[in-house]
């Protein structure tokens, strides 16, 4: 029996290792692709690993915008700044929404939560026109607030935090209130620290949502200086299917889009696993 269990465990580990290798191959390819010289970018059959790595593609990426009004560094700054604000804003808004839904009874609570769950079914294209009208009416076109406000509502973030907060014993919160803690102290010093895995997960989701978002730049920003790096990447790769020019710059831009997401996820991945293990447990 013990030998069969050991064999099953070894087989499972080998299977998971093989699956991990397959899943990491695209990341390895993106890194290698960015360092390939042009004669390797178009070789057939294509090389998976770079043979003569160099930094020419990185130079080309910055050269593409060297003669333009807006340099690539401006697009990068906009993306980093907007993503930083979005992570903070989405996490705070989601937590403030989830807390009363989880721990405070009020009329219509179930209907509000059901509406939030229903919002998970809608694609972003469905609400593009209402978003545009709201941003235009508020007069925040060509501003950082125009990037931030349309993405503040993250239904999946509210859902994860609410499910995690449901596991916190009500008696613990009541004991804190009896000791003199007000709602803000209970929320900041008790609820949030106990929900840090879910908070980290929402932070990752909000960063991914903001870092790769092209919609706000296309719809709400007419000034090129206010547009973000994903928009620059989309303009860089337009009509490149049959062209040789700028393929190296596009490869580097794809790598730049990948690295922040990868770093952010690696740092917080243990929190994500904990959240997925407990978000559905009552």
How far apart (Å, rounded) are the C-alpha atoms in residues 274 and 271?
5
Given a cut of 80, whether residue 76 has pLDDT beyond it is: yes
Residue 235's pLDDT band, with cuts at 50, 70 and 90, is confident
How far apart, in Å, are the Cα atoms of 215 and each of 70, 129, 139, 221, 237?
Answer: 19, 12, 17, 10, 17
Amino acid 243: pLDDT = 58
Token pair of 170, please?
Answer: 């009500």
Given a cut of 50, whether residue 281 has pLDDT beyond it is: no
What are the tens digits of pLDDT across the range 188-215? 888 888 888 888 889 888 998 888 888 8
* Helix extents (H) in the chain: 2-34, 38-41, 56-64, 72-103, 109-119, 128-138, 144-148, 155-165, 170-178, 183-185, 192-194, 196-211, 215-220, 229-237, 247-278
Token pair of 112, please?
Answer: 């509000």
Amino acid 70: pLDDT = 80
Let me know if 53 is exposed, middle or buried by CB neighbors in 10 A (0-12, 13-18, 19+): middle
Let me know if 2 is exposed, middle or buried by CB neighbors in 10 A (0-12, 13-18, 19+): exposed
| First-to-final CA distance of the chain | 35
Let me know if 86 is exposed, middle or buried by CB neighbors in 10 A (0-12, 13-18, 19+): buried
Residues 150 and 131 sit within 8 Å (Cβ to Cβ): yes
For all residues of the chain together, what is the average pLDDT? 82
How far apart (Å, rounded) are the C-alpha atoms in residues 276 and 270?
10
Nearest to 282 by CA among 156, 177, 170, 202: 170
Amino acid 215: pLDDT = 87
Nearest to 254 by CA among 220, 225, 222, 211: 211
SS3 category, 124: helix
| DSSP secondary structure letter of residue 125 | G
CATH superfamily of 73-278: MetI-like (1.10.3720.10)
Residue 238's pLDDT band, with cuts at 50, 70 and 90, is low
Nearest to 218 by CA among 246, 248, 238: 238
Amino acid 282: pLDDT = 43
SS3 category, 162: helix
Residues 210 and 151 sit within 8 Å (Cβ to Cβ): yes
Taking the CB of residue 180, how many other CB atoms lie within 10 A of it? 7
Residue 271's pLDDT band, with cuts at 50, 70 and 90, is low
């Amino acid at each position: 029996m013990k030998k069969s269990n050991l064999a099953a465990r070894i087989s499972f580990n080998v299977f998971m290792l093989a699956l991990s290798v397959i899943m990491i191959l695209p990341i390895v390819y993106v890194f290698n692709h960015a360092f390939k010289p042009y004669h390797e970018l178009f070789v057939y059959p294509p090389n998976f690993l770079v043979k003569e790595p160099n930094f020419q593609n990185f130079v080309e990426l910055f050269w593409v915008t060297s003669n333009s009004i807006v340099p690539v560094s401006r697009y990068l700054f906009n993306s980093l700044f907007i993503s930083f604000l979005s992570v903070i804003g989405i996490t705070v808004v989601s937590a403030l929404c989830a807390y009363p839904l989880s721990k405070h009874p009020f009329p219509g609570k179930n209907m509000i939560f059901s509406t939030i769950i229903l919002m998970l079914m809608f694609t972003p294209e469905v609400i593009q026109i209402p978003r545009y009208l709201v941003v235009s009416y508020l007069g925040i076109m060509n501003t950082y607030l125009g990037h931030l406000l349309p993405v503040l509502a993250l239904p999946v973030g509210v859902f994860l935090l609410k499910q995690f907060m449901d596991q916190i014993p009500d008696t613990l919160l009541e004991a804190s209130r009896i000791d003199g803690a007000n709602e803000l102290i209970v929320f900041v010093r008790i609820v949030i620290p106990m929900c840090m895995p879910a908070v980290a997960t929402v932070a990752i989701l909000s960063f991914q949502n903001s870092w790769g978002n092209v919609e706000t730049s296309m719809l709400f920003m007419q000034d090129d200086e206010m547009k973000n790096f994903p928009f620059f990447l989309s303009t860089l790769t337009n009509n490149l299917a049959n062209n040789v020019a700028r393929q190296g710059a596009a490869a580097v831009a794809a790598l730049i889009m990948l690295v922040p997401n990868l770093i952010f996820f690696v740092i917080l991945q243990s929190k994500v696993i904990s959240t997925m293990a407990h978000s559905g447990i009552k």
